Structure 1
Amino acid sequence: MRTNRIAVAIYLMVFLLPVCALAQTIFYVSLKGSDAGNGTRQQPFLSIGKALAVARSTHGQVIIRLFGGTYYLESPVVFTAADSRSDNETLTITSVENETVTISGGTQLKNLRWSKYKGAVWQTWVGPDLIFDQLFVNRRLQYMARYPDYDPAARFLGGTAADAVSRERAARWKNPAGGYVHALHRSEWGDFHYVIKGKDSLGELILEGGWQNNRRMGMHPVHRFVENIFEELDTAGEWYYDKQTGVLYYYPSDGLDIMTATFETPRTRHLIEFNGTEATPVKNIRISGLTLMYTLRTFMENKEPLLRSDWTIYRGGAVLFNGAVNCGISDCVIRDLGGNAVFFNNYNRYCEVSGCLISGIGASAVCFVGDPAAVRSPGFEYNEIVPLEEIDRSPGPKTSNYPASCVVYNNLMFNLGTVEKQSAGIELSMCRRITASHNTIYDVPRAGINVSEGTWGGHEIAYNDVFNTVKESGDHGSFNSWGRDRYWHPDKKKLDSIVATNFDLALLDVVEPIFLHNNRMRCDHGWDIDLDDGSSNYLIYNNLCLNGGIKLREGVNRVVDNNIMVNNTFHPHVWFKNSNDVFVHNVVATGYLPIGIHEWGKEIDYNVFPDSASLKAAWERGTDKHSVCEPLVFQDPQQGDFRLKDGSKAFETGFKNFPMDSFGVVSPKLKMLAKKIPLPVIVAVNKTGEDEAIEFMGARVKTLRTLGERSATGMDETRGVLVVSVMPGTAAAKFLQPNDVILFLNGKRIDNVGDLTEARMRVIGTSTGITIFRNQKDLRKDIDLEDNK
């Protein structure tokens, strides 16, 4: 594995050499050029296709430089094996120095003749031959006429309503055919999408779709909306295109000059394609320094299940690598897409995505997805099993038709999954030895980095900064993985039996360990690191977890070593008896929170707890014989430095501080643009029985202990947490008053401040319920633990 990383690093050093370092031929392309020209700076070509055709017969290194402007594509730019170059004769497509070049999959609507329709809505004829999947006005996305109206402050889907698909609502619509229904998964595990085919004789909507999630349990009863419905065109920024008449209706925002505004709509799913095969790959081509934008949405093409993970996939993106070797994209802006940004499909080797800014993406930023035919004994749905006697026991893949030894480095990715919620910054499925390092990923509906199954391991996920994740879903993490590999069985007892008697089966697909190290992660709606359902063969070390802690569900051979969990802890769930798991040299902010754990793996020891009660609880479970406890004191948490101070007992256990300044993107340009990770306020844990007050959302609270406190509050007994004071203007001021007593948080009874702290850490997400005692009665309120207003 380490030899492979060094080889990839050497490759990147060569691959990313300045193009001026070697002898080269330069061809120029301009929107004012002519394909009858000779491609010089003075007589540039008009089309990229012409430049590529000439480059095929040109020896040596070739650079195609595009003069500034927007190049509208009717179809993708396609590289085939005929465009391949030898290793020292690369082909690069880039811009002319200091000029902005945009490759657009859209078309600009011209000669529009706007006239008033009704009220604030305008209309113009544009013709019936456009797809009209999205509309951009002055390069800002507008919204299809929808119900409920788009609300940027809504957590889910830009606003949802239970009656969005009701017969009563549909009665308002003359002909909703061609509209869409978008909904969260019933358990918030991603989403579903449907096209409306019409209404039946009872007035109910006829829907087609619902295949976009591999756990097909139906749409959420509340979180859904409809769009592309003419009668719902009722607010600024909305539009509707009548394909039958070719008329576009638009409700402009205040201040927009509709007569001079630029209107654009996408017309292609892909912008650039590398189309080769393992036998005849596309080699040694890269794209650099361009802006790529505007592709069609692909949510109705997202049908293929990715083995037993929760995912389905559309195998495509704005940049599609299919049978490429030593190819890549660097220093590009990739924005405002309807589907995936970059997709590595099946056989690809030594390719890279580096230095890119990827934002406003309808689905995922970067995907690596191999061929299911390369998988031994595959299963394609959570409940699908392969009988034990029929399992192929050969380790690893059957073929080499999958991505391997590729790199995603130094990319800024944010505002992803704007359409498809089962998406990620980086998605790995049926691939091997993928390196994802120094990426900054935030504002995503689900995981920042997702590993769909164990096939075939060897990945290195390091030095990434991942936060503001799981924003439109649930039961997930900033990093998420599944391990529903060939041995998987949905019946837990049978699965336990399989692993107990055939331990080797759990490692037949994840044949190389997955390294997860030196990342900083924060998830406010789940776990920072979530190894779910059978995830196996992981080495997890030197990670800074800022809110959600680390969860390990059943799996084998996981080593969790030298991680820091701020304001949270270790969550072991339903382990196998012979898991062989190791949890050592870690810093936790409170006691472990096990669920269904009877056997504690190979070694759980040499860890650091914040208080004696948590350590004692571990001893009573038979773990952590050599672990220690002490109040956790970090060097400078307000500035993000969570290294432990010198003299900490932690160093006696073997814990070692690790750098706190190496997370995320490394290029100065991307660093300047990246959002800063929200740093947590340290929650002080107090389980020692002492009476010190602690901070809770802007209030000072303490354990209610004395008869005087009981009398003053009117409590029936000495229990609960007393509110001593509340700072005006804080989140606590919205629901707490001095002399209140907190009785329950997140469904947990609160007897002391330790209970309060632990209950807060158990919240998956930020919203929860609190019960307080005030004026001789219990009051229940819904609160947001991250409310800073």
Structure 2
Amino acid sequence: MRQLFLFFVHALLLVVFFSPLQAQDFVVDVHPAKTVQVIRQYRSQYPDCNLTIRYKPGTYYLDSTLVISASLTNGKGYTIIQGAPNQTTTISGGKALTVKWQVYKNGIYRAPVNISWDFDQLYVDGNAAVRARYPNYDTTASHYNGYAEDALSKARIASWKHPVGGYIHALHRAEWGGYHYMITGVNADTSLQLTGGYQNNRQMGMHKTIRFVENIFEELDTAREWYYDKATRFLYYKPAGAKAPAADIVVSRLSGYFIFTGDASAPVQRVTVKDIRFTQAKATFMETREPLLRSDWAIYRGGVILLDGTRDCTVQHCVFEQNGGNAIFLSNFNRHAMVLGNRIQQLGGNAVAFAGNPDAVRSPLFEYNSRQDFAAMDTARGPKTDNYPDSCAVVDNLIHDIGLIEKQVAGVQISMSAHIQVSHNSIYNLPRAGINISEGTWGGHVIEYNDVFNTVLETGDHGSFNSWGRDRWWYPNRREMDSIAALYPWLVKQDAVYTNVIRYNRFRCDHGWDIDLDDGSSNYEIYNNVCLHGGLKLREGFDRKVYNNIIVNNSFHPHVWFKNSGDVFTNNVVMTRYKPIGINYWGREIDRNFFPDSAALATAQANGTDVHSAYGDPQFANPAAGNYTVRNIAAKDFTNFNQFAFGVISPSLRALAAKPLFPAPGSSTEATTASWQWQNGTFKNLETLGERSATGMADYEGVLVLKAPDPSAGLRDGDVILLIGTHKVRNIHELQQVLKTAVYPLKLTIFRNQQQMTL
């Protein structure tokens, strides 16, 4: 299958780059600013020609974004826009300035600069400076390169003379991405007037500690920080030493460099951008405001390169670095687009994002808690229009150190799309998922031969691969969802039409799951993957077939499954006991797996699974070198597969790509407290990532109801007790203490269906 896919890729490239000669072929050397003008000139004179626009080596600063419209292409001849082969052609989204620095005070210099546009990036000697911020930039900090609870304290706000135009960046309260706000004013009580916060689609407010502020003049107090005072037109900068900073600087200006704009009836056709380095685009976090379908995401439909209404277009062998927003965004109608052999790094947003238009979705819903009655639902199968990406590929790209500003990002993000191929990419060092599928519309994606690690570094409850499936049939209320799924089981695949395949990948997530199929993810086939740390999770959903995977030092995490889910988990190697949460039904088949010891197998068999499974040491061939080939013949139901085919394949990219940390085989268990029995119920502290994910809790404060007491009291299995009366219940000890003096009947505040309620 891999050979067949690579044949497909090579064949497509031959079609794009080496079409039979048309009337004429032209190669034109131009300045990038003249690109559109030259294409229009040649297309008007020679409509069917093959045209190569070539840029010489050097750095070019654009005054405006280059817009390639459908009228400039006709599908008969190709257009290639390329940099100098084997040399460096750089296109910057910034503006080069020469300034005259003056000594200001406290080691700070300033220069009069009349800049008419808003900019958020400053480059000194080619290196990005730090916009004045609190707390100061710290490369060792776990989040945001530094964060502080007192970033918004009254005392600190009172110390700012003119904070309007400053920014607040903060994690989501439950660590599901982030928020960004611009300060628009200060109230009499020193509280701030703000705009923003729409960047996350699960509104729960800012994290109470993980936040920082920037673009505040009073916070310019350390080396490499800068601030621009728009009122006085002075640029301030503090160099690392006593020497004045360089006279030549660059400030960001554009957020996008190429826009391909067409539609399904008249797409941009057969245009390739290749061999160009793109850098210094400004950030777009305040433009990230469009919610995706009931996911945690909001998006900005833009990037360094935007493909919006294209057919047979390619971005190849380019470098994207030091850009403030998305690198490549494929929006609305796109067919047969290729993102091939690029290096994408030091990025504020997503590396590659696909997002169809909601007008293609039947009965779309946008906020997590939204619902609709079945009677009012459009129940037809598949997309409503063709305004979405289909049959596109992301192949052989090196993606790392992204999400430096926005935290709800991915190396490859897929939403409202079909048949997206994601193959042989190396993706690492980012705050959330390496690869994310936002919902079931419309599936058919193939995720294969990727190397994805060092993920979920600044957020929580996620995985190196993450998906959601909050489609038409899915409801935030579990009992309502159970009823719909039982009455209309066919509805599950009306959006998730085609099976998603995840195979031959290597994943490592140290702060979540290696593979995380969350909230209703359905219609998946997952096989021949190596999971190095976080295990594999299947939350409620239907028709997931998981087989022949290696799960190192972890296990299978089934959460809150449906009756008659059709789920299969067979022929896998696990190295700890299963870790079920809220499982009353065990799917269609859980069997023929290989466990680490007899105790783990016995625990599974006690639940009625794994009748034919075995146990023992898998005897991996060479774990230190990343070779987890299983040599124990007792694992007879497992079939070995290639351990050295993950990640990028181009020699130049392979030489640059990092590798994950390969764990030595050993036991890995989550330490948990004992449960407590009371009134025929069973309770325990909320303390594992799995428990927090299954309940939807934002933190670990609460008592989990494993088995509810008398149902007439109102509690259900899986509830989390937060308060008794006005008394907080953060753990079993506090529950026991409150119950000693509580007055009956008890007033309980609980968390259920991802919202608080009172019993």
Where 1:650 maps in the other structure, the secondary structure is coil
Aligned AA (1:398): K
Q: Tell me what 2:186 maps to.
A: 199
- Which digits, 9 at most, give the CA deviation of each residue in 1:380-427, with x for residues without a partner? 100000112222111101000001000000000011111100000000
Rounded to whole Å, the distance in 2 between the matches of 1:292 and 1:66 is 13
Matching of residue 633 in structure 1 with residue 622 in structure 2: no
Given the alignment, which residue of 366, 370, 376 partners 2:356?
Answer: 370
Contact 2:101 2:244 in 1 (8 A): no
Q: Tell me what 1:659 maps to.
A: 642
Where 1:92 maps in the other structure, the secondary structure is strand
Q: Tell me what 1:691 maps to.
A: none
Given the alignment, which residue of 363, 376, 380 partners 1:394?
Answer: 380
Aligned AA (2:463): G
Contact 1:214 1:308 in 2 (8 A): yes
Aligned AA (2:221): D
Rounded to whole Å, the distance in 2 between the matches of 1:50 and 1:69 is 21
Q: Tell me what 2:97 maps to.
A: 109
Contact 1:358 1:365 in 2 (8 A): yes
Rounded to whole Å, the distance in 2 between the matches of 1:471 and 1:265 is 29
Kindly state the Cα deviation for residue 85 of structure 1 after the two structures are TM-superposed: 4.3
Q: Tell me what 2:262 maps to.
A: 276
Contact 1:635 1:644 in 2 (8 A): yes
Superposed counterparts of 1:303-702, under 5 Å: 303-645=289-631, 647-651=632-636, 653=637, 655-684=638-667
Aligned AA (1:93): I
Rounded to whole Å, the distance in 2 between the matches of 1:24 and 1:366 is 32
Kindly state the Cα deviation for residue 680 of structure 1 after the two structures are TM-superposed: 1.2
Contact 1:522 1:547 in 2 (8 A): yes
Matching of residue 99 in structure 1 with residue 84 in structure 2: no
Aligned AA (1:630): G
Contact 1:8 1:405 in 2 (8 A): no
Superposed counterparts of 1:223-262, under 5 Å: 223-254=210-241, 258-260=245-247, 262=248
Q: Tell me what 2:708 maps to.
A: none
- Which digits, 9 at most, give the CA deviation of each residue in 1:123-162, with x for residues without a partner? 0011141322111112211111000001111111111111
Rounded to whole Å, the distance in 2 between the matches of 1:658 and 1:499 is 36
Where 1:480 maps in the other structure, the secondary structure is strand
Kindly state the Cα deviation for residue 218 of structure 1 after the two structures are TM-superposed: 0.1
Superposed counterparts of 1:134-213, under 5 Å: 134-213=121-200
Q: Tell me what 1:756 maps to.
A: none
Q: Tell me what 1:288 maps to.
A: 274
Matching of residue 65 in structure 1 with residue 60 in structure 2: no
Q: Tell me what 2:70 maps to.
A: 81
Rounded to whole Å, the distance in 1 between the matches of 2:689 and 2:116 is 55
Contact 1:416 1:443 in 2 (8 A): yes
Q: With structure 1 as the length reference, what TM-score do the two structures score?
A: 0.83
Where 1:576 maps in the other structure, the secondary structure is coil
Aligned AA (1:154): A
- Give the CA RMSD over aligned residues: 2.4
CA distance change for structure 1 residues 685 and 524 in 2, over 3 Å: closer, same or farther?
Answer: closer
CA distance change for structure 1 residues 443 and 2 in 2, over 3 Å: closer, same or farther?
Answer: closer
CA distance change for structure 1 residues 414 and 406 in 2, over 3 Å: closer, same or farther?
Answer: same
Q: Where does structure 1 lack aligned partners over 5 or more consecutive residues?
A: 32-45, 687-744, 751-758, 769-789
Given the alignment, which residue of 97, 102, 107 partners 1:120?
Answer: 107
CA distance change for structure 1 residues 18 and 258 in 2, over 3 Å: closer, same or farther?
Answer: farther
CA distance change for structure 1 residues 10 and 85 in 2, over 3 Å: closer, same or farther?
Answer: farther
Where 2:643 maps in the other structure, the secondary structure is coil
Q: Tell me what 1:14 maps to.
A: 14
- Which digits, 9 at most, give the CA deviation of each residue in 1:94-126, with x for residues without a partner? 12333311111110112x110111111000011
- Which digits, 9 at most, give the CA deviation of each residue in 1:280-329, with x for residues without a partner? 11100101101011212111111111010000011111100011100111
Contact 1:526 1:764 in 2 (8 A): no
Comparing 362-371 with 76-85, which one deviates more in the overlay?
Answer: 76-85
Kindly state the Cα deviation for residue 625 of structure 1 after the two structures are TM-superposed: 0.5
CA distance change for structure 1 residues 565 and 368 in 2, over 3 Å: closer, same or farther?
Answer: same
Rounded to whole Å, the distance in 2 between the matches of 1:587 and 1:581 is 17
Rounded to whole Å, the distance in 1 between the matches of 2:384 and 2:120 is 40
Where 1:214 maps in the other structure, the secondary structure is coil
Aligned AA (2:14): V
- Which digits, 9 at most, give the CA deviation of each residue in 1:192-214, with x for residues without a partner? 01000121011111111111101
CA distance change for structure 1 residues 55 and 3 in 2, over 3 Å: closer, same or farther?
Answer: farther
Kindly state the Cα deviation for residue 520 of structure 1 after the two structures are TM-superposed: 0.3
Where 1:136 maps in the other structure, the secondary structure is strand
Kindly state the Cα deviation for residue 496 of structure 1 after the two structures are TM-superposed: 1.4
Where 2:418 maps in the other structure, the secondary structure is coil
Aligned AA (2:276): L
Q: What percent of counterpart residues are identical?
A: 48
Contact 1:4 1:405 in 2 (8 A): no
Rounded to whole Å, the distance in 2 between the matches of 1:102 and 1:6 is 30
Rounded to whole Å, the distance in 2 between the matches of 1:118 and 1:761 is 49
Where 1:343 maps in the other structure, the secondary structure is strand
Rounded to whole Å, the distance in 2 between the matches of 1:192 and 1:614 is 42
Rounded to whole Å, the distance in 1 between the matches of 2:130 and 2:538 is 40
Rounded to whole Å, the distance in 2 between the matches of 1:242 and 1:390 is 54
Where 1:164 maps in the other structure, the secondary structure is helix
Aligned AA (1:86): G
Aligned AA (1:307): L
Rounded to whole Å, the distance in 1 between the matches of 2:664 and 2:692 is 17
Contact 1:85 1:91 in 2 (8 A): no
Aligned AA (1:81): A
Rounded to whole Å, the distance in 1 between the matches of 2:689 and 2:415 is 31
Rounded to whole Å, the distance in 1 between the matches of 2:21 and 2:242 is 50
Q: Tell me what 1:725 maps to.
A: none
Contact 2:463 2:512 in 1 (8 A): yes
Q: Tell me what 1:689 maps to.
A: none
Contact 2:618 2:635 in 1 (8 A): no
Kindly state the Cα deviation for residue 685 of structure 1 after the two structures are TM-superposed: 7.1
Kindly state the Cα deviation for residue 163 of structure 1 after the two structures are TM-superposed: 1.1
Where 2:442 maps in the other structure, the secondary structure is coil
Kindly state the Cα deviation for residue 54 of structure 1 after the two structures are TM-superposed: 2.9
CA distance change for structure 1 residues 217 and 62 in 2, over 3 Å: closer, same or farther?
Answer: same
Kindly state the Cα deviation for residue 570 of structure 1 after the two structures are TM-superposed: 0.2
Kindly state the Cα deviation for residue 258 of structure 1 after the two structures are TM-superposed: 1.2
Contact 1:122 1:249 in 2 (8 A): yes
Rounded to whole Å, the distance in 2 between the matches of 1:342 and 1:355 is 13
Kindly state the Cα deviation for residue 29 of structure 1 after the two structures are TM-superposed: 1.7
Contact 1:568 1:761 in 2 (8 A): no
Kindly state the Cα deviation for residue 554 of structure 1 after the two structures are TM-superposed: 0.2
CA distance change for structure 1 residues 428 and 255 in 2, over 3 Å: closer, same or farther?
Answer: farther
Rounded to whole Å, the distance in 2 between the matches of 1:20 and 1:761 is 57
Rounded to whole Å, the distance in 2 between the matches of 1:317 and 1:518 is 30
Where 1:433 maps in the other structure, the secondary structure is strand
Contact 2:293 2:364 in 1 (8 A): yes
Rounded to whole Å, the distance in 1 between the matches of 2:324 and 2:242 is 27
Matching of residue 25 in structure 1 with residue 12 in structure 2: no
Aligned length: 681
